[in-house]
Amino acid sequence: MLTDETKQIFYQALLDKNPDKDQHLVLKTSWIDTPLGPMVAIADDQLLYLLEFIDRRKLEREIERLRHRTQSVIVPGDSPLLTSIEAELASYFAGHLKAFKTPLRLLGSPFQQLVWDALTQIPYGSTLSYAEQATSLGKPRATRAVANANGANQIAIVIPCHRIINSNGELGGYGGGISRKKWLIQHEKIWNIDDALVGS
């Protein structure tokens, strides 16, 4: 769990120091503690824009890009969407939630959004290779482009890019770190097995 001092340092480093409330959009951000470490979520009252582990590489640039694309200010605060995603994450980590319902605002190219939508179709507890993902999109030669789009995903866990692995069975990359990717895959497989045993 992060201390208030650590959170304040983060806000000073990444968020708007002199927010102009006359801008068109005000986004709220909050901390979410998880078994894999703290995450930062950014949302308005209707949609979730970002969910990342706070130690993700280049998070500062990611937040700045979000602010620029949306012409918004980002300030600490609460919103119904932040409450929603915090509750859903708690349920996910407890092994009870398999499909997130919090509505999302995806900022990406049409190709990136196609890739991200395909990620949400991968069943809980399953994995695909990058090549299989590209083939499923009808673009079997676009493995690298698909992998890059996965890496541009700004909504960790909810858009489950952790379910994509190398063709040889190795984990491949993950913005949140390989140890977290391994944990998430194992977590989902364990709960999938438990549910199957209960239903048998």
CB 154 within 8 A of CB 10: no
Question: Among residues 50, 85, 161, 165, which one is catalytic?
Answer: 161
CB 150 within 8 A of CB 114: no
* 158 among known catalytic residues: no
Q: How many residues does the chain have?
A: 200
List C-alpha distances in Å: 139 to 131, 133, 146. Answer: 9, 9, 9
- In this structure, what DSSP letter does residue 123 have? P
CB 30 within 8 A of CB 14: no
Q: Which residues does the annotation mark as catalytic? A: 161
